[in-house]
């Protein structure tokens, strides 16, 4: 965990937000001011309108069932009352990014960590660390979908079991290119894709860029290819991977990860922007606006 995150956890602890051993806290409803609710309302209203026709139907169905407030930061308890009976998932409030092992342990038990605080108005269009809007609006609607719910649960169990440290980068890439920045095939949409990844869903700029820009590559999802492909955390993605449907993630969830992780642990990593002859190319990017380095 970065020192910045540790500092934030310390700051939150000192602010009286008692953080439990599993890094969860009680959602401090009293800590949301008018500005926080206004930022939530502005982001929710803008993204809910922008995503229509751009995000997969399963996300919209989940958003409908969650019935999130468009005006105020929602109560996590109220969301769990709808979420838990549907797929057994529940959201738990956390101060921010938590250590990998803690995160994976939550996922393996169908608990999704949701940052409690809201970004500031001057961070409306971008912030590096996930806030409540990214985690709640971006991630939670698809956890009502049983196939996606099983995928994230199986992912958490595989990540928790992956004792070898060499496996963590492989699993982080899989999470990044599916749960965070995944695209899904849709022949009637621009570039043949719609959105499902939370990092795109919660970002106005990347909602437009990932589906409409000519700059990035859009390649057919392949588990081993994704696990070996580095990514960017500070810019829009150079490459997006496209699944045919959510059921494809269901198949990934059934993978016996141990031998695969062992085999790939020392395999070469590919840069975020390269395209291989074996790739199923939806679009080969113009690479316009790409920054040379910065892949992790
Ligand atoms: N912590 N709160 C929180 N949210 C995340 O998305 C998260 C995390 N810790 C680790 C982590 N993600 C990564 O390891 C995964 O993206 C693979
Ligand atoms: Fe996220």
Residue 266 is predicted with a pLDDT of 85
Band the pLDDT of 290: cuts 50, 70, 90.
Answer: confident
The residue contributing the CA closest to ligand 1 atom 3 is 97
Average predicted confidence (pLDDT) for the chain? 93
pLDDT at 293 over 60: yes
Residue 140 Cα, ligand 2 centroid: separation in angstroms?
A: 10
Largest CA distance in the chain: 55
Strands 217-220 and 281-283 come out as: antiparallel
Residue 154 is predicted with a pLDDT of 95
Concatenated DSSP letters of the chain = --HHHHHHHHHHHHTT----TTS-B---GGG--HHHHHHHHHHHHHHHHHHTTTB-HHHHHHHHHHT--SSSPPPHHHHHHHHHHHHS-EEEEESS---HHHHHHHHHTTEEEEE-PPPPGGGTT--SS--HHIIIIIIGGGGGSHHHHHHHHHHHHHHHH--STTHHHHHHHHHIIIIIT-EEE-TTSGGGEEE--HHHHT-HHHHHHHHH-SSSEEEE--HHHHHTB---SSSS-SEEEEES-HHHHHHHHT--HHHHHHHHTTSPPBPTT---TTS-EEE----TT--SS---
pTM: 0.94
The residue contributing the CA closest to ligand 1 atom 15 is 172
pLDDT at 97 over 90: yes
Strands 239-243 and 183-185 come out as: parallel
Which tokens hold the place of 281? 């190319």
Q: What would the pLDDT profile of 27-81 be if each residue is shown by its tens digit?
A: 999 999 999 999 999 999 999 999 999 999 999 999 999 999 999 999 999 999 9
* Complete domains list, the chain, with CATH: 3-283 (1.10.800.10)
Question: Which residues sit with their C-beta closer than 6 Å to ligand 1?
Answer: 94, 97-98, 100, 103, 113, 115, 130, 172, 175
How many whole angstroms separate alpha carbon 168 and alpha carbon 46?
Answer: 35
How many whole angstroms separate alpha carbon 137 and alpha carbon 58?
Answer: 14
Q: Which atom of ligand 1 is nearest to the CA of 115?
A: 2
Q: Please, what is the angle between helix 146-161 and helix 100-108, to 10°?
A: 130
Q: What would the pLDDT profile of 131-188 be if each residue is shown by its tens digit?
A: 999 999 999 999 999 999 999 999 999 999 986 778 999 999 999 999 999 999 999 9
| Geometric angle at alpha carbon 76, from 71 and 78, rounded to 5° | 80
The residue contributing the CA closest to ligand 1 atom 16 is 172
Q: Which of 12, 103, 129 to mutate to test the pocket of ligand 1 (most atoms within 8 A of CB)?
A: 103
């Amino acid at each position: 965990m970065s020192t910045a995150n540790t500092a934030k956890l310390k700051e939150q602890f000192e602010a009286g937000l008692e953080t439990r051993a599993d890094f969860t806290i009680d959602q401090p409803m009293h800590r949301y001011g008018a500005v926080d609710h206004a930022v939530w309302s502005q982001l929710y209203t803008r993204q809910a309108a922008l995503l229509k026709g751009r995000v997969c139907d399963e996300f919209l169905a989940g958003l409908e069932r969650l019935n999130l407030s468009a005006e105020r930061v929602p109560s996590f308890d109220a969301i769990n009352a709808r979420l838990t009976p549907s797929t057994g998932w529940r959201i738990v409030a956390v101060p921010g990014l938590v250590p990998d092992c803690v995160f994976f342990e939550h996922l393996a038990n169908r608990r999704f960590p949701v940052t409690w605080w809201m970004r500031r108005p001057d961070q409306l269009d971008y912030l590096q660390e996930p806030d409540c809007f990214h985690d709640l609006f971006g991630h939670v609607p698809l956890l009502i979908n049983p196939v996606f719910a099983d995928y994230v649960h199986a992912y958490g169990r595989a990540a928790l079991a992956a004792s070898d440290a060499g496996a963590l980068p492989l699993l982080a890439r899989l999470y990044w290119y599916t749960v965070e920045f995944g695209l899904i095939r849709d022949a009637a949409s621009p570039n043949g894709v719609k959105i499902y990844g939370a990092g795109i869903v919660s970002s106005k700029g990347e909602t437009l860029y990932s589906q409409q820009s000519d700059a990035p590559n859009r390649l057919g999802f392949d588990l081993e290819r994704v696990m070996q492909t580095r990514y960017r955390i500070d810019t829009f993605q150079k490459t997006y991977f496209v699944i045919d449907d959510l059921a494809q993630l269901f198949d990934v969830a059934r993978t016996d990860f141990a031998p695969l992780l062992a085999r790939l642990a020392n395999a070469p990593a590919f840069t975020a922007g390269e395209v291989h002859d074996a790739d199923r190319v939806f679009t080969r990017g113009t690479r316009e606006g790409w920054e040379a380095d910065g892949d992790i």
